[in-house]
Structure 1
Amino acid sequence: MSRFVRASKYRHVFGQQGKKEYGFDNVKVTNSAWDTNVISASTRYVSLNWQSSGGGAFAILPLPSPFAPLPTGFPSKLPDLVPLARSHTAPVLDTDWSPFNDSIVASAGEDGKAMIWKVDSGAFDGWGLDGWEPQDFDPVARIDVSPRRVGHVLFHPTANNVLATSTGDHHVKLWDLANPESPKSVLGGHADAIQSLVFNPWGTLLATTCRDRKIRIFDPRAGSDPVRVGEGHGGIKGARVVWMGDKDRLATTGFSKMSDRQVAIWETGSLANVKTLTIDQTSGVLMPFWTDNNILFLAGKGDGNIRYYEYEHDNLFPLAEYKSSDPQRGMCFLPRRGLSVSDCEIARALKVAASSIEAIAFIVPRKAESFQSDIYPPAPSAEPALSAAEFFSGKTAPPKLVSLDDGSVFSASGSAPVAPSAEAPAPTPAPTKTTSAPPPAAAPAPVIAVHEEPAPAPRAEPTRSQTIPHDDSTVSALKEENARLNAELREARAQIRNLELQVETVRANARKAAALLES
């Protein structure tokens, strides 16, 4: 049998949908056309970009699980009115949970701001009980990132309180959340909208995909320009990138010039294309997710399929496919330290359908009840390896890992990946539809460098009458005006909340009247 079938302990991995009571119904998913995963999760909570009036908002919910019930009294079918994080003044585009604190989440919005939120453990007390009234969440920090939108937020994998944001003016900015007045590093060189970004496991390098069809790798502490630029997928539609664990490989999804959906593997040193597979010709963006079991999951927006492949010797071997009749609008995977090892669960996805969130567990079928060490490599720990100050001062430390067997924490072995040469690379041809591959390859205070821009055209100096005075009276007047506007904004939000409550009351009365008429 071994002559014809490739040996793999993941060959029979299957996806198991969680029961209805372990998910959520009646969710109101955002209608924003911006391409992100829509949902994000820690081991305790879920954040979902929400469709709401009066600016931008996202929902924070306790984690639905196929193996653990929701908190007592918490409804799996959400009411029409739920507590939201709604301090953004424009639609929320992306959220990300801190890898070191399951109660801290960052959000990004079209209003050009990023916000940090901390979830109180008692935030969900009283849900489902008579007389319960929703109380919105308030941010603990606000960051003025850009005059234009903030498309993505991403926490650093090894340094605590370090956040990366992508902006509508085509920059990636890194922030120290302890001192968020100005970015610690600004990464440029993008000619169009940034479509995705990802850190390597050590957090020393950052990769991006862009609408200009290029892949870029940055050393965030070595300057603003990319250290490597390569040609990506030939199509202009959405491209995503994910780092393939501790390997010197990137995986991307995108489209060919003929609009075929593709997945490709790239060597990080030269950004040479190692392997390209054509998936199909569906129009939905492929969302890639990597697990340290050497498995790459691909979930397509607008279809109900989740394909998964095992990576070995620069090849992607198809394992199986989870199929559903409900198309997904977004998806995320849980941190591996939150998996149920007693059920041989190697990954868990949260799928956003039209009006629901459902959990999907990927399980290796085994009869043994003991811990299966061969399918559970150490997972990223909840302990940071560095502080933000240490990272930006240039220090590098291996990520901390946790054993899923006994919970022991230790540092990863090996050395930090070396940044590729900053010399201009030779042009790399765009991936084609062929599935053939070349021979396998042989087996943190930043330097705040300002991206060089063309010199602006000279402009006339303002006259004395145009010059804005900077005396104390002007500053005091501006502060008073700002306080007045903030008070008006809070009052407007309260009015919106009251109107929503009235609408919900009217709907409830209408349902009661309809039930009485039918009886």
Structure 2
Amino acid sequence: MDRLAEREAAPEAGHRGAPAPAPLAELLQLGGPCALGDSVDVLWNPVLPEQVASLHRGTVRLWSLSHAAAASSASESGAAPSPREEGSFGCGRWDPHHAHALALACESDLLTLDTRSMKSAVAVADAHEQPVRGLDYNPNKPNTLLSSGDDYHVKVWDLRKPLTPVLSLLAHAHWVTSATYNRFHDQLLLSCGTDSQVKLWRAAAISSAPPSLDYEEADPSEVEADGIVRPYTDHEQSVFGAVWSAADAWIFASLSLDGKVVVNHVPPSEKYKILL
């Protein structure tokens, strides 16, 4: 009984007597405290790992990181305000092909920032009819940007000719919360929205590996048009995130408002069309 009492009185040490994990140690802070709701995102430059951008409602700040033997530090190296007086930044994405290019969404506008000068390089006013919620660069094809917005659309832009999108999809029946490229096969796009659906799309014609089939001589049954491959209806509430696996090109996961995570895969028939 004494041993049982000691056991119940002792604090939990972890699973099967394992020591409790140590708390995470803070390495540095990016600036000082900010107003509640002001911070939007922190974006790590994939080309220059010592560079980070912090996205706020009314401004974007650029930080240079340094790591010494004793401590790490961050110094602000640039800042740019929102291009709209009453508008705020909603999301951003670093260009994986150009070290100093950062794509940003401000309400319904798109712009790319040259972080060497903190000046806008490309600007697309009213790229969507309502606020933009997501951005993603094509990982294999430079100057190609994917955007998704509250106007139910997913659009693909050639930033060298940004007057009109090269592809515009009425993708969902409500807000499109995210859209992303497959990191290995950019013919495949993934989108999700507040209509509780996840959708897989084929966009081979504007990918880095467009079809080489001779359409004049091809059997019509062999030519499959770009568009939706398959909708996934596993969620019952709004889906706010969908990501591709970093280890397997054919697997993706989605997360809905109720905390439900669903892992799915590209249909085998679509997979073999790409591989064969």
The equivalent residue for 1:496 is: none
Which residue of 246, 252, 258 corresponds with 1:291? 246
Measured at CA, do residues 226 and 314 of structure 1 come closer, stay the same or move farther in structure 2, by a change above 3 Å? farther
Percent of paired sites with the same residue: 15
Which residue of 45, 50, 55 corresponds with 1:98? 45
The letter for the 2-side match of 1:179 is S
Q: Deviations over 1:417-467 (max 9, x none)?
A: xxxxxxxxxxxxxxxxxxxxxx96896xxxxxxxxxxxxxxxxxxxxxxxx
The equivalent residue for 1:363 is: none
Deviation at 1:221, TM superposition (A): 1.2
- 1-side partners of 2:156 and 2:182: how far apart? 14
CA contact (8 A) 2:182 2:244 kept: no
Which residue of 199, 202, 211 corresponds with 1:267? 202
Q: Does 1:244 align with 2:182?
A: yes
Highest CA radius of gyration, 1 or 2? 1
The equivalent residue for 1:191 is: 129
Q: Does 1:152 align with 2:152?
A: no
Deviation at 1:296, TM superposition (A): 1.1
Measured at CA, do residues 440 and 179 of structure 1 come closer, stay the same or move farther in structure 2, by a change above 3 Å? same
- 2-side partners of 1:286 and 1:267: how far apart? 19
The letter for the 2-side match of 1:184 is A
The letter for the 1-side match of 2:181 is W
Q: Does 1:308 align with 2:263?
A: yes
Structure 1 segments unaligned to the other structure (5+ residues)? 1-18, 26-60, 63-81, 127-134, 317-438, 444-519
The equivalent residue for 1:207 is: 146
Q: TM-score, normalised by structure 2?
A: 0.72
- 2-side partners of 1:300 and 1:289: how far apart? 15
CA contact (8 A) 1:230 1:271 kept: no
Matches within 5 A, 1:214-253: 214-236=153-175, 238-245=176-183, 246-253=185-192
Matches within 5 A, 1:79-94: 83-86=29-32, 91-94=38-41
Matches within 5 A, 1:32-431: 61=26, 83-86=29-32, 91-111=38-58, 113-122=59-68, 125=71, 137-146=74-83, 147=85, 148-168=87-107, 170-181=108-119, 183-188=120-125, 189-202=127-140, 203-236=142-175, 238-245=176-183, 246-256=185-195, 261-268=196-203, 269=205, 272-283=227-238, 285-291=240-246, 293-294=248-249, 295-303=251-259, 305-313=260-268
* Larger RCO (CA within 8 A; separation ≥ 6): 1
Q: Deviations over 1:73-94 (max 9, x none)?
A: xxxxxxxxx8443386771111
- 2-side partners of 1:167 and 1:123: how far apart? 39
Q: 2:80 aligns to what SS in structure 1? A: strand
Q: What is the number of residues matched between the two proteins?
A: 231
- 1-side partners of 2:20 and 2:226: how far apart? 44
- 1-side partners of 2:100 and 2:20: how far apart? 36
Q: Deviations over 1:138-175 (max 9, x none)?
A: 4211112323211112110121111111102x111112
The letter for the 2-side match of 1:187 is V
The letter for the 2-side match of 1:121 is H
Structure 2 segments unaligned to the other structure (5+ residues)? 1-18, 206-224
Bigger fraction of residues in strand: 2
- 2-side partners of 1:267 and 1:23: how far apart? 44
The letter for the 2-side match of 1:296 is F
The letter for the 2-side match of 1:285 is F
CA contact (8 A) 1:114 1:144 kept: yes
Q: 1:159 aligns to what SS in structure 2? A: coil
CA contact (8 A) 1:185 1:224 kept: no
